[in-house]
Amino acid sequence: MAIGERIIAVRSVDSTNKMAAELLAAQGSAHGTVILAHEQTAGRGRRGRRWASAPGLDIALSVVLKPAALAAADQFGLAKLTALAVADTVREALGTAGDGVAVKWPNDVLVGRRKVAGILIECELAGDRVRHAIVGIGLNVNSVDLPEELLATSLRTAAGGRMHDRDAVVHRLLAAMERRYAQCLHVPAGLDADYTAALWARGRWAPMWLDGAAVDRRPVDVDPHGRLLVEDPEGRVAAYGLDRLRFAAR
């Protein structure tokens, strides 16, 4: 089944990722099933953080993927394909205003310095394979009053106030997911190259936290495990996971 061929639309739910997990456990949803919420009351970010979205204005959805052929070791491909599908959709929606669309490692989507979308991927492994993944996407579409401290934006804000048709954006996003999913399975080198090209702050010195210390590092690429490859001021390149490295405030 193609991604989005079956959409379960709900009026209000605590979290689409949580609902997708419950449905998977109860009835083993098919690959490509989408849970789309009009309103999400307890949206989840990573590590217990919260995700805010305005009822009816923004997108909160989860996609069930069953990438039978994907090795567990390659699961960062899911983060890449999702971030790129979201970035494709944002660029398409903004037209020429979409110039500054980038993927902030590991998978925030930014317009300029501002976060327009967040992604939460929950994977279940079976041996050395990915049994299924729940890919949660929060995309700010028509919100205009996101708190300034979030350094967020929406398609509407980035487009100078123009409202966007939320359903049309959902369908473009799911079509982009399907394209990027096929690329991930069949042309992974192309996906890797596109992710590298979209990487925010690539080739620029950026303030970061490394093992709790403030440092300047220059992002170069990601490695096959999804760790960020960064260059230090002495020209040495090393790879770090999120357990050790993160960007300081944008």
Which residues make up the interface to ligand BT5 (CB under 6 A)? 15-17, 43-46, 49-53, 60-62, 108, 115, 118-120, 136-138, 140, 146, 150, 152
Q: What is the smallest separation between the CB atom of 119 and ligand BT5, expressed in angstroms?
A: 6
In the complex with ligand BT5, which residue's Cβ is closer, 128 or 148?
A: 148
In the complex with ligand BT5, which residue's Cβ is closer, 152 or 170?
A: 152
Q: Which two tokens stand for residue 229?
A: 């490859």
In the complex with ligand BT5, which residue's Cβ is closer, 54 or 185?
A: 54
In the complex with ligand BT5, which residue's Cβ is closer, 51 or 181?
A: 51
In the complex with ligand BT5, which residue's Cβ is closer, 67 or 138?
A: 138
Q: What is the smallest separation between the CB atom of 34 and ligand BT5, expressed in angstroms?
A: 11
Q: What is the smallest separation between the CB atom of 187 and ligand BT5, expressed in angstroms?
A: 27
How many residues belong to the chain?
A: 250
Q: What is the smallest separation between the CB atom of 226 and ligand BT5, expressed in angstroms?
A: 14
Please give the distance of CA 35 from its chain centroid, rounded to a whole number.
16
In the complex with ligand BT5, which residue's Cβ is closer, 6 or 129?
A: 6
Q: What is the smallest separation between the CB atom of 135 and ligand BT5, expressed in angstroms?
A: 9
Q: What is the smallest separation between the CB atom of 51 and ligand BT5, expressed in angstroms?
A: 4
By beta-carbon distance, which residue lies closest to ligand BT5?
118
Q: What is the smallest separation between the CB atom of 35 and ligand BT5, expressed in angstroms?
A: 8
In the complex with ligand BT5, which residue's Cβ is closer, 9 or 187?
A: 9
Task: Please report, for residues 87, 90, 92, 133, 187, the alpha-carbon distance to residue 95 in angstroms, rounded to integers and kept in the order given.
Answer: 12, 8, 5, 31, 26
Could you tell me if 139 and 133 are in contact, meaning their C-beta atoms sit under 8 angstroms apart?
no
Residue 46, number of CB atoms within 10 A of its CB: 15
